[in-house]
Structure 1
Amino acid sequence: MIKLLPTSTAGSLPKPSWLAEPETLWSPWKMEGEALMEARQDALRVSLLEQHNAGIDIVSDGEQTRQHFVTTFIEHLAGVDFERRETVTIRNRYRASVPTVIGAVARETPVFVDDARFLRTQTDAPIKWALPGPMTMIDTLHDTHYRSREKLAWEFAAILNAEAKELVRAGVDIIQFDEPAFNVFFDEVNDWGIAALERATEGLECRTAVHICYGYGIKANTDWKKTLGDEWRQYERIFPALQASSIDLVSLECQNSHVPMELIELLRGKKVMVGAIDVASNRVETPEEVAATLRKALNYVDADDLYPCTNCGMAPLSRTVARGKLAALAAGAAIVRRDLTGL
């Protein structure tokens, strides 16, 4: 049974320096073959231990076995050529060299199932596993085959659904789909994006979540945030449709952001993973600061539905900073939990 105000991370945690270059996205592995497989499992054990030691209730793999939250999944699919690359604009924000869809996309083998099965053997805690969402996947590719963002998204939704079902059988309790693209392509989100996401969750015998944030704490994202003004109301465009959807949990960014907290009211009835940790700063929050964010959120979401979380993944941070932030999240949630229960 999950306790009141269960804590979790939004996604990635820093990798050990012996596995990949620290504080770096898309960092290449420092070994290969059997040595890499063993090293990634060791990193997973370390990441899990650090979550347990910090007091995190719903644990994850910390994305220790993948280089990137989107491309590592795509690397395992047929129909995508990683040698044929084009430079595109991702999420209307920054330019990047991406692989090309040259044929029908297909998942010929499981991608993360063995990793999830291994994680399940290491802990009795509830496990949350993140997968890229369909819309964010299509925004990270150059497509010469389908020539339709919607058609490709539906293909990816079916592929993700097959992977998610096997992850559940491997022991995962919550499947989270990362959709930062939902904060950019509002018309598409409401026209077909949420429907595609629901296709990805179809028939899953677990809780489902969608993570929608303003991105990692990298320069391209922090520069973009500076253009958004004093109030970030992007969530307002999509939360009503998400509230009406079959998705169980919605993960959003709150700490040190300009998101009006009252927007959470648009999700009333859903479980909300309230981002109470700023991943774009090396400053470690105090437990009291985390508690203050959670107390404010409680004006708009019932206590039974509030899941304290981080704003986004923490792969670009140092392990020391990330450990401090995890501990602050757990301690801040404990303060509010005592306020509510007296325990």
Structure 2
Amino acid sequence: MKILLPTSTAGSLPKPSWLAEPEKIWSPWKLEDQELKDGKLDALRLSLQEQVQAGIHIVSDGEQTRQHFVTTFIEHLSGVDFEKRETVKIRNRYEASVPTVVGQVSRPKPVFVEDAKFLRQQTKQPIKWALPGPMTMIDTLYDHHYKSREKLAWEFAKILNQEARELEAAGVDIIQFDEPAFNVFFDEVNDWGVATLERAIEGLKCETAVHICYGYGIKANTDWKKTLGSEWRQYEATFPKLQQSNIDIVSLECHNSQVPMDLIELIRGKKVMVGAIDVATHTIETPEEVADTLRKALQFVDADKLYPCTNCGMAPLPREVAQGKLNALTAGAQIVRDELLA
């Protein structure tokens, strides 16, 4: 039986304190060698258990085996030099020291496939796996080789497609591409961003999603959000193109954001992961607050296409806060599910 309003998370969940320093992105590992390998899988199992206990329907690895949603994937590619670093502005927002593209990029071997197989063995529930999108990948690097954002994005799209096909073969039900850069570089999104995303999903039979958020609850992002004014209409620039694309699901930020709900109308026909949990605060939503966000979204997306979700990843939050938020998400979704089925 197909569940109405299936819940999921945008991606990352807090790591246990024995694996990495908590409440941090890019947190260094506390273990090494075989202990680290085992520890990552233990954390993945734990994260899955916490999602299941909270009642999440579409579960993930909680990104327990990776330090960061973009760089961990890039670390496994050839053509990128992590020793040779340059300072760039990420998403026109904050400066970061990033690795350099020094030659032809390629994927010598699968990156997350073994982890995905491990997750598949642990559960019969639908599983979702997140990969960085091509545009967000190029925005997290200094390109000394291709000298063209678009050219590098097409190369990454090809590599992502190789990975995605193997993840699908490993039993992943939904492959999600994280594209926060879609909320910044509108001309590029429409010129080639959506096209490179479609190249990344070429030939896939499983469902595909694109997650477009306003970023983790870190200071650089929250400061940026304060400059966006009373209405965040960024989605308006990219949704028409996404609506015409082959992507199945669009994941967006709704709760506590200034995004006008009616923008969802622009992707009518797509499934929508509605962010009903604010990841930029330690305050745990009440189930009623979650329900209220979902009710508003239901004016613009059909109930059978609405997937209650979090606004973004929750890696920087304390574990008990993230757990409380997951509980609130499922409880809020249940309120609305009961109303729809009444």
Question: Shorter chain as normaliser: what TM range?
Answer: over 0.9
CA distance in 1, matches of 2:226, 2:297: 24
TM-score, length of structure 2 as denominator length: 1.00
Q: Which runs of 5+ in 1 are unaligned?
A: none
CA distance in 1, matches of 2:178, 2:3: 24
Shift of 1:316: 0.3
Deviations 1:78-109 (A, max 9, x none): 00000000000000000000000000000000
Q: Which amino acid aligns with 1:215?
A: G
Q: Which amino acid aligns with 1:229?
A: G
Task: Look up the match of 1:207.
Answer: 207
CA distance in 2, matches of 1:171, 1:105: 27
Q: Which amino acid aligns with 1:324?
A: G
Shift of 1:28: 0.7
Query: Secondary structure in 1 aligned to 2:84?
Result: strand
Task: Look up the match of 2:158.
Answer: 158
CA distance in 1, matches of 2:38, 2:205: 31
Q: Which amino acid aligns with 1:63?
A: E
Task: Look up the match of 1:89.
Answer: 89
Deviations 1:23-52 (A, max 9, x none): 011001101111001000100010000000
Deviations 1:48-93 (A, max 9, x none): 0000000000000000000000000000000000000000000000
Q: Aligned Cα RMSD in Å?
A: 0.5
1:1-343 correspondence to structure 2 within 5 Å: 2-342=2-342
Q: How many residues align?
A: 342
Q: Which amino acid aligns with 1:125?
A: Q
Deviations 1:250-292 (A, max 9, x none): 0000000000000000010000000000000000000000000
TM-score, length of structure 1 as denominator length: 0.99
Shift of 1:205: 1.4
Q: Which amino acid aligns with 1:207?
A: E
CA distance in 2, matches of 1:268, 1:300: 7
Q: Which amino acid aligns with 2:91?
A: R
Deviations 1:109-168 (A, max 9, x none): 000000000000100000000000000000000001000000000000000000000001
Shift of 1:16: 0.1
CA distance in 2, matches of 1:103, 1:123: 40
Shift of 1:2: 3.9
CA distance in 1, matches of 2:274, 2:40: 29
CA distance in 2, matches of 1:330, 1:201: 29
CA distance in 2, matches of 1:136, 1:26: 16
Query: Secondary structure in 2 aligned to 1:238?
Result: helix
Query: Secondary structure in 1 aligned to 2:337?
Result: helix
Shift of 1:238: 0.4
Runs of 4 or more, structure 1, over 3 Å off, are: none
Shift of 1:333: 0.4
Q: Which amino acid aligns with 1:212?
A: I
Query: Secondary structure in 1 aligned to 2:96?
Result: strand
Query: Secondary structure in 1 aligned to 2:313?
Result: coil
CA distance in 2, matches of 1:61, 1:244: 30
Query: Secondary structure in 2 aligned to 1:89?
Result: strand
Query: Secondary structure in 2 aligned to 1:337?
Result: helix
CA distance in 2, matches of 1:41, 1:175: 20
